[in-house]
A = this chain, B = another copy of it.
Amino acid sequence: EEFDGPCIKTDIPGPKSQELLRELTALTTAHEVQFFCNYEESKGNYLVDVDGNIFLDIYMQISSLPLGYNHPALLKVLNDPANLSTLVNRPALGNLPPADFPQRVQNSLMAVAPKGLTNVKTMACGSCSNENAYKAIFMWYMTKQRGGAPPSPEELETCMFNKSPGAPDLTLMSFTGAFHGRTLGCLATTHSKAIHKLDIPSMDWPIAPFPQLKYPLEEHEAENRAEERRCLDQVHALFREYNSRGRPVCGVVVEPVQAEGGDNHASPQFFRELRAIAREYDAAFLVDEVQTGVGVTGSWWAHDLWGLDDPPDVVTFAKKMLGGGYFHTEEFRATSGYRIFNTWLGEPSKLALCEAVVKTVQEENLLENVRQAGAVLLDGLKHLQTKYPTQLENARGLGTFIAIDCVGGEAQRNKIVADLKRKGIQSGGCGERTIRCRPALIFQPHHAEMVLNAVDEVLAEQA
């Protein structure tokens, strides 16, 4: 049973959190700590902190908890003695998988495989999922180039020293405002905030503009279409430019909604055309569903909503899937051993949890719940932006993957997020001036009402 509502008794962070923060700061940088949590006492949509404050959590650990706190279906997996041995004996999954691994992959990942993607590779987090997907794309590209011939002695020699032709000068196209992770390969395709990128050497890879649309989308169709066309023209231009400079663009990576970059949406038509352009230039089309996947848009994968005839080549996942990896078509299978590999390759216990998530979403009809709760939340935010037009604008979203912009910019956004916290609503920011909602799939219409009331109160106080 959940709590009835949020309950805040102390400043945030409270005295116990402040004390723990002092302890932690002696051992490690902890600039980003908000407060310390009591995860045992947290339940469903409610996060409890060490000072006994209870938050209605619509951010859910940076969008990574699918079923909220201490969901019985997940507790059951961990209480099952049969799963204990996979937790305590984490295997080198590529070499020595447990007996139930094929069945687990089938019941968890393949049970929700995107249409047309018959293969999956397990990884541990969003970054290694994208890094390895990029590598799979580069390998696929060079395998095609060689037309079935083995690598030349020169390729085998030069690659050891990071030199062409063995380490060829290939590129991957990404978009302004994108976030695909922070390891060096991912970071070359991430363009969300300067602080994510500053001081880190990178690669000269093509960066196309992501459409800057006007919301609500349905009221600005013509201008939005023109903006999307401008961006797609740039995609064409970058393909031509890089390909002609001998720096082939092997793939395009895109998020269905730019999630860290400020919840930037584009139309299904934009994505269909982008997919077609990638096909036209023989480049792979990679959809990064690390944050948009697992039902939050009302469909299991956000790209399900695009109506693609020609599926993506690769789809990456992590966060709410509880482990990482990428789905891919037959063409993107590694041609020999140890090319896509690491020690752990994910973790079987995460698949056991993922399997329980997949089953629970189905049994409890949670996609329908997401659509209903999301509609209440989005309608309510649209109402509030009409009520407070000098403070809020651009309410937008799919399912419960919802965001709204603060007219007053970053400072106002940060103040609203902090004030919401003081009222017991745990939300998050993204982009420069956006508040994002990333509740669990068990977030219901009555929770949405509580959020809306709190936002109304905060804005009334600020007005």
Which A residues have a C-beta under 8 Å from some C-beta of B?
16, 20, 23-24, 27-40, 42, 47, 50, 61-62, 64-65, 69-71, 74-75, 78-79, 82, 84-92, 94-99, 101-103, 105-106, 110, 118-122, 124-128, 131-132, 134-135, 138-139, 141-143, 151, 155-157, 159-163, 166-171, 176, 181-186, 188, 191, 193-205, 207, 318-319, 322, 333-334, 336-344, 353
Contact = CB atoms under 8 A, between A and B. Distances in A.
Contact of A71 (B31, B88, B188): B88
Contact of A97 (B36, B70, B163, B176): B36
Contacts of A74: 88
Given A62-B92, A195-B339, A70 B85 contact: yes
A16 B125 CA distance: 31
A163 B202 CA distance: 7
A195 B102 contact: no
A92 B64 contact: yes
* Secondary structure call for the A interface: loop
Given A36-B96, A89-B70, A201 B198 contact: no
A126 to B, nearest CB: 7
Contacts of A27: 102, 105-106, 110, 118-120
A23 to B, nearest CB: 4
Contacts of A89: 39, 42, 61, 65, 69-70
A184 to B, nearest CB: 3
A184 B131 contact: yes
B204 A162 contact: yes
A78 B70 contact: no
Nearest to A250: B201
Nearest to A199: B142
B38 A64 contact: no
A207 B339 contact: no
Contact of A185 (B84, B160, B184): B184
A108 to B, nearest CB: 11
Contacts of A125: 124-125, 128, 342-344
Given A27-B118, A160-B176, 15 more contacts: A31-B338, A37-B98, A47-B96, A61-B90, A78-B84, A127-B131, A127-B183, A127-B342, A138-B200, A139-B198, A169-B201, A170-B201, A171-B201, A184-B184, A184-B185
Nearest to A170: B201
A37 B343 contact: no
A174 to B, nearest CB: 10
Interface centre among A110, A124, A202, A341 (most CB of B within 10 A): A202
Contacts of A23: 102-103
A39 B98 contact: yes
Contacts of A168: 199, 201
B343 A319 contact: yes
A84 B80 CA distance: 12
A28 B97 contact: no
Contacts of A207: 161-162
Contact of A162 (B47, B50, B205): B205
A344 to B, nearest CB: 6
A29 B87 contact: no
A310 B119 CA distance: 50
Contacts of A97: 20, 24, 33, 36-37
Nearest to A182: B342
Given A34-B96, A64-B343, A20 B102 contact: yes
Interface centre among A23, A27, A29, A159 (most CB of B within 10 A): A29
Contact of A159 (B106, B169, B194): B194
A216 B125 CA distance: 42
B99 A197 contact: no
B99 A36 contact: yes
Contact of A37 (B34, B91, B124, B197): B91
Given A36-B97, A105-B24, A343 B62 contact: yes
